[in-house]
Chain A
C-alpha cells in the first residue's frame, strides 16, 4: 500500500490508553480503531504518503465527534418537528448547521432544502470522487452478549422465604453456597478386619523372604554339588589321565610333560574322606567313562592355568597330600566358581 505509520520514536505509543489507565482498553476502543483505519484511508486518497500517529488519532477523534454531533443535531431537528424518527430533511438541516462555520455554500436556509448547496456539494463529491471502500470487513458492533439470567422464584418452583419477597424476583442462592457446616469423616473401623489384613501382609512378606533365601541356597547348592561331582570325577580319573598324559606328554606339549620324572610312582589311594562311599566310587566310574573326553579337555585347559590354581587354592593343599593337591589344584582352576570353600 505504501502507507506507513511513523510512531514518532515511541513504539508503545499506540498502546497508551486515552483514558489514562495504562493497558486497559476502554469500551470504545474498537470504534476508535475502526475510525482510525477509515481516516487513514481517506488521507491516503487525499494524497498523503504517511501520517503521524498523533495526527491520525486526533483526526479520528474529530471524525467520531462529527458523527455524534451530526446525529445529535438531526435528532434535535426531528424532535423539534414532533417526530421521533429522523428524516432526510433533518439530516440536511444538521449538515447545514455544521457547515455554518465555513459559510453557506448555496444559502440553503432561504430556499427549498432539496436544492440546498450542501446537498449539491455532496452530490458532486460522490460523483466525482473515487470510491474507496473500507479495508476490512467489520462485524456488527457493539456485540450484545447473552447474559445469564438468574431464574426467578416462579421459574425455580420455589416459594420465597418470607412474604415481603415477591415471587417474580430472582431466586435466592442455595444455602450450601453461603453456609458452612463442619463435616466429620465417617469411617467404620473394624478391628478384626484390620488384624486379618495385617497378618496377611506379614505372611506375604515372609513368603517372599523365604523364596529369596531358597533361591540363594539353590544357587550356592547347585554350585557346590557341581563342584563335588566334578571333583570326584576328576579325582578318580586323575590318576588315569595322569598316566595317560605321561606317555604322550613329551611330543605335544612341554606342559603336558609329567612333572615327576620318576616313573616309579605308585598310584596313591584316595583319602578316607572321599572314599568312604564305595557305591559312589562305583557310580562315578560309569560317570567317568561317560565324561572322559570332556574331562580330558577340561584337564588340558586346567593345566594351562596351573600356576594360578596352585597359588589361589592354598586351602586345598593343606587339606590333601602334595601329589593329590597338584591334581586338585589343577581342577581348582576349572572348578573356580567364585564361591570360596
Chain B
C-alpha cells in the first residue's frame, strides 16, 4: 500500500508542481525582465548554454534580476543603517535621507554575504 500510495501522492504533487511550473513559464512570456533578452542570450552563448526555447532565457534573466535586486536591497539596508548611526543635526540628516547613493562600501558588504 505504501509504495502504491507514495507514488500517487508524489505523482499528484509532481503534477501540481509541473502545472505550476508550466504556468510560471507561460507567465514569464508576459513579464518583461529588466535585463534584456539579447544580453542574456549573448552571455549564455559565450558559456555554452544552448537553448532554442525563449522561456529558458527569460527564466535566466528573471533569476539574474532577482539576484541583483537582492544585492541592491542588501546594499540599501546597509546604506540606511549607516545613515542612522551618523550623528548629525536634523537639517543635515533630512538632506542626506533624500539621497540614497549606492557606494562601493555598501556594495562590498552586500556582496560579501552572497
Contact = CB atoms under 8 A, between A and B. Distances in A.
B104 interface: yes
B92 interface: no
A85 B34 CA distance: 25
A96 to B, nearest CB: 11
B83 interface: no
B102 interface: yes
A63 B36 CA distance: 13
Interface residues of A, number: 64
A58 B104 contact: yes
Nearest to A50: B101
Contacts of A121: 66
A102 B114 contact: yes
Chain B contact residues: helix, strand, loop or mixed: helix
A274 interface: no
A59 interface: yes
A38 B72 contact: no
B47 A141 contact: no
B68 to A, nearest CB: 5
A6 interface: yes
Interface string B55-70: 1100110111111110
A41 B34 contact: yes
B3 interface: no
A95 B35 CA distance: 17
Contacts, number: 183
B46 A71 contact: yes
Q: Which of A71, A131, A133 has the most CB of B within 10 A?
A: A71
Contacts of B5: none
Q: Which of B28, B34, B72 has the most CB of A within 10 A?
A: B34
A240 B75 CA distance: 126
Chain A contact residues: helix, strand, loop or mixed: helix
B69 A42 contact: yes
B50 A86 contact: yes
A126 B28 contact: yes
B38 interface: yes
A51 B79 CA distance: 12
B13 interface: yes
A132 interface: yes
Nearest to B68: A42
B32 interface: yes
Given A50-B100, A74-B49, A35 B35 contact: yes
Given A67-B60, A134-B32, A88 B25 contact: yes
Interface string A37-78: 011011101111111101110110011101111111011000
Q: Which of B18, B56, B65 has the most CB of A within 10 A?
A: B65
Nearest to A65: B43
Given A39-B68, A67-B44, A122-B66, A114 B20 contact: yes
A39 to B, nearest CB: 6
B72 A46 contact: yes
B8 interface: no
B54 interface: no
B59 to A, nearest CB: 6
Nearest to B44: A71
A84 B39 contact: no
Contacts of A6: 101
Contacts of B44: 67-68, 70-71
9 contacts: A43-B72, A45-B34, A46-B72, A67-B60, A71-B48, A75-B49, A88-B56, A91-B63, A142-B42
Given A49-B99, A54-B104, 4 more contacts: A55-B104, A67-B44, A75-B48, A115-B13
